[in-house]
Every structure is written in structure tokens, then in C-alpha cells.
Structure 1
């Protein structure tokens, strides 16, 4: 078994020293971000805030991203991506350190939380496209799937461990220590990232031409690339709609369904929901390990939308069961499928989009994924109140299936190799 596993060369990309430092730095940074998100509710409760204040804090985190994503990619394409990541982590470290100081001097109030959380959201808007864009400058094309799989592994492990560690530390030593540790995670990430070497530079002539152009011209160039690249335009538009169904299922419908279905089965709704989140994380980890072993993939357009369709089918089946074990089985499959199609899409963009435009395209891709979410949350929240949550989950599953089939009608999608 071990011999077979070693042949898969899952971790071979880590022998690239610069990618290893990048991977390590990003792992620490994601751990810090996850710990911040886990500790944020308790920070709000510490100043006697409630559900309304917590909702606003999360809104302040997302809102700057929706606004800045439209033009943030232009900056990430113009700037040195290594320095962008280093500066982003240093700013994050400074923001969280400010929270530590306010806690220490007992001066923290809700406006501080809103402003500092918005700052983190804005900085994340620049760092996330840069993270995707820098990988092709660190590894060979044949290693892209492996590199993205390794990122997914570290991301899932961090997102699994950080809430547990954060919750334990909040109880054991208090918020000040937790945010102090988070401060150092971002600082250490910046140190790791400052030592990487970009083996592949963006084409110098393209870089000089980009600097001569105005920011608005660069932005319009990004829109034009999306508009004239059929598979990319279809992917962003369709994914924006699909994301309404997936996010509404994940964020709104699933916790309510778990609470209503299993709260009387001998365990609390919170415990059952915790099990479902853990099972999705396990499925995501299995996907990342499996994808990291793949050297060749089937036609990626067909593969990508087939995986999304299978996700919708799994959600549909989940709504038809009242057994916790079967539910956990399907949430594990959902976690596996979602991580797999994310890795396929990221690798597709890195492979087929010009590297000097990748930041802009990533920003537009992320903007498409976020911009419709508030409307989607409102619609599906209203549907749950007027019908029942099981029917709403069935609607999300059917919606995902239908939207995954439509792109396959286009030859440009079927021909993506």
C-alpha cells in the first residue's frame, strides 16, 4: 500500500523549495484566517453583541470583496505577486494585532470590529487572486493539478483544526491569547513567502505594455478576455447561478434541515451539524489526496460539469433520507465532489488563461461567485419559511443538476481538453 502511495507522487511538487515555502506560508495563513473566523462570534459576544451584530460583522467582511473584486485583479496582475502576498499577510497581522491592543486596554467596541473585519475582507480580495495566479510561476504545467490538490489538503486541514484549536484556547486562556496567536500566524506566513523565488516571470514585453496602459484599459481587457473566450464566459455565468444553489444549501438549508430532522434522535442539532461539517471536510480531504495523484484528466469541460451535476444529485438524495448515517454518507460525497470540481476549475484557469491576465480573470470569477449570493440567501430563506426545508434542498439539488447540463450543450465546453 505504501509503495503504491509513493508511486502516486502526491508530494513530489513539495520538492520544489519555493513551492514548498509558498505552500507552508499559505497553510499557516489559512489557519490564521480560519481561527479568526472561529473566534469572531466570541469577540462579538465579548462586547455584549448578539446575532444582529454578528451578521453585520460577516456582511462587512464580504461587502468590500464584492466591490473591490471588480478592479482588484488589475492590481494583482500589475504588481509583483510575491510582494503582494507578503504585504497582504503583514497587513492582516497588523489588523489582528490592533484587536489585541484594543482587548488589552479594554477599548474594543462594535465599530472597531466592523472596521477591522472589513479591512481583512478587503486585503483578502487582493491575496486570493494572487494566490491562484502565482502557482503557474512556481511549478510546471503538468504539476498544476498536484499543486492545487496540495493547497486543498492544507486548506481543509487548517479549516478543520483551527475552529477546534480556537474554541479550546478561547475557553482555556481567553480571546487575547487567541488573537495574539493569529497575529503571529500571518506574520510567519509573510516570512515564509518573502523567501520564495518566482522561477517563471511574467512576459517582460507584456509587463511593460501593461504598465503603459491605464488601469481602466487593463480592467476592460479582462472583461474582453472573458467575453471573447466562450468556455470562460459560460463557466463564470453558469457558476454564478450554481453557486446560489450550492451556497444556499450549505449555509442556510443544511443546518436547518439537520436541526429539524435529528434534534429529537438522541443528539443535539448542533452535534449533528458538527458531524455533517466534519464529514464534508473528510470528503474534501479524500478528494485532495486523490486528485493529487492524477497526472492526466479526462476532457476537463465534461469532467467539471459532470462533477457539479453529481453534487446536485447527491444533494437531492440527501433530502430524501431521515437517517443520520446515510446523511453523513452523502455529505462526505458532497465534500469530495465539491473539492474535486474546484481543483479542476482552478487548474483549468491556470493552464489556459495567460498568466499576465490571471489575476483579473480570477477576480471576475470570484466576483461572479459572490455577487448573487445575497439575493440567493433571501430567496431560499423565504422559500424555507413558506414551504419546508426538505423541499428547498430538493430544489437546490435539481437546480444544480439542470445548470450543470446546460453548458454541455456547447461544443467549446465539450472540447476542453
Structure 2
């Protein structure tokens, strides 16, 4: 888990002001991610307000996860074949349009739980195209030596969102109601979509684009299957996310509202704490270079399981917020090295496909995780019990990875 601090000379080479394209990508991310989180908090609280049936709340996450999973492979293929900047523009602009539709439902007082579930599904499709495009574009703007720092800075921009987003969302719900929160989200996503258009990147036309889409997918699958590092990461993420995603995403809002009897500002407090933890984690990894990223990542996985377990025993709002803050710090210690490993070891013309494959496999069981969590709640299993059991399983699965020599020995 050793690290080394970059020299001032290295930092000077990485001045964002000297990399116009990366700077615009960063600015776009600073509008896009917080805007998405403003919408997400408003949507979650609106669903909890519209219906006391928590199955509907679970369906909100399930509806977003399924189309995201279905279209991710196509999103990766598009990222390798089309202009990545254009894909990011369409993604943010389409989200703004969807929020505009929700505002119309609110103004006409016709919004229902079904409307929110359908919008969640459409947001999931947008996610499927934006994720591989963003992560395939970053390595095209930066040299390999700066990828960890670049990924960390993009993550920092993204992690401002769980701080700024819930803070704005909770405050706007209290002051201006749901129309206020969704209007701000719409404006931020529009700004993000416009900013990304300033990126000027001449992507090389490759002969691979003349090959059929099926042939390109086959090529990507064969490459992934033969790469032991990719296989190790994908198998690990496949099982861990099942026990983590559903209980965390559904569990925190339910605990805040049903157990702690909190308000929208209470939920915002917990999500802001998560954002602070993730932001600090990204900042730390932007300041240092990991000498043994594989060992660091596996240690982080074990810590995630332990803190997730502790989350289930929280008895106050502030205890819950503190625990999830430490947990999201640790998540960055896992996610950023994984992303950097794949970006450094994958040919650039396959980056979109590899990123979509990783996301597809790692989220393959997430819809089932959401459905299972909603079902357990429906039959009367306490949310905190679900989180405690899930934390135990995540910790156990992480400990098994200590036998994974391929990950333990990896170096940038």
C-alpha cells in the first residue's frame, strides 16, 4: 500500500490550464454530476412523499438499473465508433429534457409514482451511453502517467455532486418545493451539455469502424476473456455489487425517513456526508501515486464491508452520516485504481467496450439486488438487518480476494 508524492515538476506538467480539452471535460462534469444528484434527491423524496408503499421506492432503482444494464454494451460500442463528445452532449441534454417533462407533470398536478419509475428507466438508458463515453474519453486527453491523477480529479468533480447536489436539493425542497429543485437540476444539465461541446478532439478514423458492430463486440469479448486482470475484476464486482448496491441505495433513504423520522434535509445530510468522504478519497488519490494499487484496492474492499456492516448498527443520524462518509472514502480507494488499471492496460480503440463490459458485468445482479431488497422490506425484514447481513457477506467475499495474486501483484 505504499505511495509516492508527485514532484512539483510533475505537477506543473499537469496544469489543467494547459490542457484545454480536459478542462472543459472537468467543467462539464462539475455541472452534470451535481445536477443529476439534485434531480435524484428530489425524485427519491418525491416518491417517498407520493406513496407509503416502499416497493414503489425500490422499483425506482430497479427501473433505472435494468435498461442501464441492457444498453451498456451498446453504449460501449457507440463510444468506440462515434464521437465521444457528441455522446456526452446527447446524454446530458436528454436528461434535461426528461426533467422538463417531470416539471410539466408537477405544474399540472398529474405526477404519479408510475411517471417517476418511467423517467428512472429513461435516465438509465442515458447512463448506459454516458458512462463508457466519459471513461473512454479521459485517456484520450491525458498521457498514461497522469491517468490516476486525471481519474481522481474527474472523480473529485463528480463527488462534489453528493455534497452540492443534496445540499441544494434538500434546501430547495424546503424553500421552493419540488418545482424549484427540478428546475435547478434542469439548468445544470443544460450547462453541462453545452460545455462539453467546447472539447475539440480529432479522433483518428480507424479501419475498425468499417467492421460490423457484431464483429467489434466479438473482438471486445475475446480480448476481455483473454485478459486475466479484466476477468478477475469483473468476477469480483459481479458478486460484490449484488450485496452492496440494493441495500445501500434503498436502505439509506428508508432508514432516514422510517427509522429516524427524518426530513428531506436529513437525507441530504447523509448524502452530503457520503459526498465528502468520496471527495476526500479522490483528493488523496490525486495527490499521491499508489506503488501497489492492487493491494490497496483489496484492503479497501475489506474496509468497505466492515463499514457497511457498522452502518446497519447506526442509532442516530449523525452516526449514520459519519459511517457512510468513511465508507465512501474507501470506495474511492477501490474504484480509482480499478479504472486506472483498465485504462492503462487496454488499447484505446477498445476502451469504450471494456468500460461498458466492466459496468455491465459489475451491475449484472444490481437489478436483482434492488428487487430482492424491496421484496425483503415488503415481507417485513427490517432495513438495518438487511444491511448488517449484507455487510458480513461483502466482508467475507473481500477476504477471499486476498488469494488473488494477479490483483495483489499489479503495478502501474
Q: Closer, same or farther in 2 for the Cα pair 1:82/1:325, shift >3 Å? A: closer
- 2:196 aligned to which of 156, 177, 193: 193
Give 3-state SS (helix, strand or coil) of 2:363's partner.
helix
Q: Offset at 1:179? A: 3.0
Q: Distance in 1 between matches of 2:320 and 2:108?
A: 47
Report if aligned partners of 2:105, 2:111 keep a CA contact under 8 Å in 1.
yes
Report if aligned partners of 1:10, 1:292 keep a CA contact under 8 Å in 2.
no
- 1:165 and 2:168 matched: yes
Output aligned runs, 1:8-407, within 5 Å. 9=11, 12-15=14-17, 16-41=19-44, 51=53, 53-104=56-107, 112-198=115-201, 201-202=203-204, 204=205, 207-209=206-208, 211-252=209-250, 263=260, 276-294=270-288, 296-316=289-309, 329-377=322-370, 379=372, 392-407=386-401
Give 3-state SS (helix, strand or coil) of 1:311's partner.
helix
Q: Offset at 1:237? A: 1.1
385-394 vs 22-31, greater mean Cα deviation: 385-394
Q: Closer, same or farther in 2 for the Cα pair 1:280/1:60, shift >3 Å? A: closer
Give 3-state SS (helix, strand or coil) of 2:291's partner.
coil
Report if aligned partners of 1:288, 1:339 keep a CA contact under 8 Å in 2.
yes
Give 3-state SS (helix, strand or coil) of 1:371's partner.
coil
Q: Offset at 1:288? A: 1.4
Report if aligned partners of 2:59, 2:371 keep a CA contact under 8 Å in 1.
no
Q: Distance in 1 between matches of 2:226 and 2:184?
A: 46
For the pair shown, which has the larger CA radius of gyration, 1 or 2?
1
Deviations 1:312-339 (A, max 9, x none): 2333455677687766554332121112
Q: Distance in 2 between matches of 1:359 and 1:33?
A: 22
Q: Offset at 1:236? A: 0.6
Q: Distance in 2 between matches of 1:366 and 1:94?
A: 25
Q: Distance in 2 between matches of 1:259 and 1:318?
A: 16
Report if aligned partners of 1:10, 1:146 keep a CA contact under 8 Å in 2.
no
Deviations 1:235-261 (A, max 9, x none): 11111111122224423556667789x
Q: Closer, same or farther in 2 for the Cα pair 1:275/1:174, shift >3 Å? A: closer
Report if aligned partners of 1:10, 1:289 keep a CA contact under 8 Å in 2.
no
Q: Distance in 1 between matches of 2:115 and 2:364?
A: 26
Q: Distance in 2 between matches of 1:272 and 1:186?
A: 25
Q: Offset at 1:170? A: 3.5
Q: Distance in 1 between matches of 2:67 and 2:15?
A: 34
367-376 vs 69-78, greater mean Cα deviation: 367-376
Q: Distance in 2 between matches of 1:39 and 1:389?
A: 22
Give 3-state SS (helix, strand or coil) of 2:290's partner.
coil
1:409 is matched with 403
Q: Offset at 1:392? A: 4.8
Q: Closer, same or farther in 2 for the Cα pair 1:194/1:305, shift >3 Å? A: same
Unaligned 5+ segments in structure 1 are none
Q: Closer, same or farther in 2 for the Cα pair 1:324/1:408, shift >3 Å? A: same
Report if aligned partners of 1:13, 1:143 keep a CA contact under 8 Å in 2.
no
Q: Closer, same or farther in 2 for the Cα pair 1:182/1:6, shift >3 Å? A: farther
Report if aligned partners of 1:100, 1:176 keep a CA contact under 8 Å in 2.
yes
Q: Distance in 1 between matches of 2:255 and 2:330?
A: 21
Give 3-state SS (helix, strand or coil) of 2:410's partner.
coil
Report if aligned partners of 2:312, 2:388 keep a CA contact under 8 Å in 1.
yes
Unaligned 5+ segments in structure 2 are none
Q: Offset at 1:41? A: 4.2
Q: Closer, same or farther in 2 for the Cα pair 1:94/1:229, shift >3 Å? A: same
Q: Closer, same or farther in 2 for the Cα pair 1:76/1:333, shift >3 Å? A: same
